[in-house]
Structure 1
Amino acid sequence: MSTRPVPPWAGYGIRFARPSESGAVAALLARAFADDPVMAWMVPAAGRESRIARYFRLAQRQQRPHAGAVRVAATGEGRLLAAALWSGPGRWKPSAVQELAALPRYASIFGLRGLPRAGEVQNAMDEAHPQPPHWYLPSVGTDRGLQGMGVGSALLGQQLADCDRLGQPAYLESSNVTNLPFYEKLGFRVTGEIRLPAGGPTLWPMWRDPDPTAGRLAKGR
């Protein structure tokens, strides 16, 4: 008989995040992105993790008006293990009014040097963003120490199963080359490179077509 201890997060489930959890979601994503190459290029080193957390608080405020925008993997006791921000078809780009209203917060997060870089990143991603309707995954992160244990795959798998059922594609940009195999196992494929100016890091746009087999199986149930 195995005596291997059961991890305290073993009994987790996937659900929509509650509005009261926005701070916990932001803190989790900040830990997950603390060493991200693009975040490191944009966000000053001093207080980086707290700045990134503020960024993800802002990102959630911009996405929360859309149903199902924030999904989490969480234990029954409420511990968050992973979080994903999603935008549905036609909703991936904040309005000009939203962006203008958020500008002072962006300036506080990124600082004088980082703000122009953040603008360059956003412009480069917008130019490369595909036009066909799709689900967009701007951010997903698993908490420290839990990577590689299947939590992130389970979290994304629920939305991707919905994409298959509805016949809808999905899109993301990976900011870390080491994450490409993870996304490829979920059905995404690299479609090019987004190279940032002034020696900045590279992002990899990735597209996922819906699995027609999964859609047919769902209809046959």
Structure 2
Amino acid sequence: MTTTASSSSNRLSRSTVTHLCALLSSSFHDDALTRRLIPDERLRAELLPGFFRVFVELSAAYDGVLTTPDGDAVLLFLPPGAEPDEEALDAAFAGVLGEHTDALRTITHLQAQRHPQEPPHYYISFGAVRAERQKGGLISGLVSDLLARADAEAGGVYAEASSPGGEAVSRRAGFRRLGRDIVLPGGGPTFRPMWRDPR
């Protein structure tokens, strides 16, 4: 699998960012997390591209965007030592989500409580594949590229699986469950913390 990486928001063209945001928005439109975050379907379709733009630009700033050459799959992550400006991120999300910002703050607070502090590690935030190309191994290929980088640096990798498919990809890549699930108030959705030691 040949993949490409972009290392900063300056190296991701505007059209590439727009394309990746559309891909992520389409892939996660019916996800339990985004339905919880923005219940109204029409509004969710309207707001998700801006929501994912924050994540794409954040990851790009840390060399954390992997894509297939055709752009049909993307993996977003943060490397060890990344220290995003939390106030700036909160303001960016508030500008996109408006009244739905508090729901996101609840989610991110629960995630932060369970996020391991040590040892240093990569953190996978989102992965997506164009619908017509799903189940073709594209995400597994991108994950393998990231794991090779982490292994070369003797670093761990952390992720939160929000679907059975995401957990299956993680387990095939050597991840294991890390403690109890993260369950949002009201009975869900659920995130499963996953960890992979370097090899």
Do the structures match in fold with TM over 0.5? yes
Cα–Cα, structure 1 residues 69 and 198, in superposed 2: closer, same or farther, change >3 Å? same
User: Where do 1:42-121 residues align within 5 Å?
Assistant: 42-43=37-38, 44-66=40-62, 68-75=63-70, 80-91=71-82, 94-108=84-98, 112=99, 114-121=100-107
TM superposition shift of 1:175: 1.2
Residue 29 of structure 2, aligned match among 25, 31, 34:
34
Opposite residue 155 of structure 2, the aligned amino acid is Q
**Distance change (3 Å), C-alpha of 1:103 and 1:30:** closer
The alignment partner of 2:72 has SS state of strand
> For the Cα contact (< 8 Å) 1:30–1:50, is it kept in 2?
no
Q: Structure 2-normalised TM-score? A: 0.88
- The alignment status of 1:19 with 2:5, answered yes or no, reads no
Query: How many Å separate the matches in 1 of 2:33 and 2:186?
Result: 13
Other structure's SS at 1:145 match? helix
CA RMSD of aligned residues (A): 1.7
Runs (5+) with no aligned partner, structure 1:
1-11, 212-221
Question: Distance between the aligned counterparts of 1:14 and 1:173, measured in 2?
Answer: 23
Change (3 A) 1:145 1:102: same
Secondary structure in 2 aligned to 1:74?
Answer: coil
**Displacement after TM superposition at 1:97 (Å):** 3.1
Using the size of structure 1 for normalisation, the TM-score is 0.80
Supply the distance in 2 between the matched residues of 1:145 and 1:103 (Cα, whole angstroms): 30
CA distance in 2, matches of 1:100, 1:145: 34
Residue 100 of structure 1 and its aligned partner are, at CA, apart by 4.2
Q: Which runs of 4+ in 1 moved over 6 A?
A: none
- List per-residue Cα deviations over 1:68-102 (Å, max 9, x = no partner): 21110123xxxx110111101121x5323323431
Instruction: Tell me, in whole angstroms, the C-alpha distance in 2 between the residues paired with 1:122 and 1:46.
Output: 24
Tell me the CA shift for residue 42 of structure 1: 0.4
Report how far residue 54 of structure 1 moved: 1.2
Instruction: Name the larger-Rg structure.
Output: 1
Higher helix share: 2
- Whichever residue aligns with residue 168 of structure 1, its letter is G
Structure 1 distance, partners of 2:94, 2:165, is 33
Work out the CA distance in 2 between the residues paired with 1:103 and 1:39. 14
Distance 1:185-1:116 versus aligned 2 partners, 3 A rule = same
Partner of 1:122: 108
Amino acid at match of 1:86: F
Contact 2:47 2:96 in 1 (8 A): no
**What amino acid is aligned across from residue 105 of structure 1 in structure 2?**
G
Q: Distance in 2 between matches of 1:121 and 1:179?
A: 18
Does residue 131 of structure 2 align to residue 144 of structure 1?
A: yes
C-alpha separation between the residues in 2 aligned to 1:146 and 1:49? Answer: 21
